[in-house]
Amino acid sequence: MPGERSKVPAADQTLQILAHLAAQRGPVPAATIATALGLPRSSVYHLLAVLQERGFVVHLPEERRYGLGVAAFELSSGFSRQQPLTRLGRPLVAALVDRVGESGHLAVLHGRDVLYLVEERAPRRPSLVTDVGVRLPAHLTATGRAMLAALPPAQLRALYPDTPAFPERTGGDDGGEPWSYGRLKRLLQQVRADGRASEHGEVTPGLASIGAAVLDHVGWPAAAIAVTFPEDTARGAVDTIADEVREAAATLSRRIGAHA
């Protein structure tokens, strides 16, 4: 790989700069970019000037910082329009359903909701509420919990600032404890410890789900894959489902550019 990149160093350095800016929480100084990437400052300034001219970077003169521009946003919009997550995820979810014999789905986080992009129903299994295009409260679903557990604490807190941010679906899902930010934090700590997210009857009584996050190249939860099955499924079968869900999520993560 290093040999291939060296054939077009300017292109490689330009992409490094864009990727670095995309991973930051806000605009950064050019000197910081040069140091982080190990590039000559003069090269970074020249490349930033070109990127600024093309609209991929904006310069904040008062702050002496650089951030992503509108053209970079248009690239991300193109990514959404082309639906690569759906195209890449559908065959993986279909194969997962074939292996475990239970229904599976792929969802993305949209605010405090999950939006279902792929739904694959297993033979002789009932239809689920998680159909394509359906939105459900993220904190109640396995896919949502898997993605929320991968968010930075500040982002999670911004999504759930108060009690009204926690709508209930079936009510009394765990003995009556009301939802709160503290309860969500405890639940997500368990998700991270287990390496998987689960829900039991909180979306549909009698059904449970296990989900795992699909992470992008900067570790952001781009999506999640889950399988739904009867709550009375044997523990051994549940463990097998969990392993298969994690493997499918890891495969999709690699396919969208995540590091191993």
Task: Dump pLDDT digits (tens) for 207-224.
Answer: 999 999 999 888 889 899
Residue 243 sits in the same domain as residue 155: yes
Q: Which long-range contacts does 66-71 make (Cβ < 8 Å, 24+ apart)?
A: 66/21, 66/27, 66/28, 66/29, 66/30, 66/33, 67/21, 67/24, 67/26, 67/27, 67/28, 68/18, 68/21, 68/22
Q: Are residues 53 and 108 in the same domain?
A: no
18 with 71: CB under 8 angstroms? no
* Structure token digits, residue 14: 């330009």
Question: How many domains does the chain divide into?
Answer: 2
CATH number of the domain encompassing residue 117: 3.30.450.40
The maximal CA–CA distance of the chain, rounded, in angstroms, is 64
Asked if 136 and 243 sit in the same domain, the reply is: yes
Question: What CATH number did the domain enclosing 32 receive?
Answer: 1.10.10.10
* Same domain for 214 and 119: yes
Give the mean model confidence (pLDDT) for residues 185-202. Answer: 94
Domain that holds residue 18: 2-77
Same-domain check for residues 135 and 238: yes
Q: Is the pLDDT of residue 2 over 50?
A: no
Query: Could you read off the pLDDT of 120-159 as tens digits, one per residue?
Result: 998 888 777 777 888 899 999 999 999 999 999 888 998 8
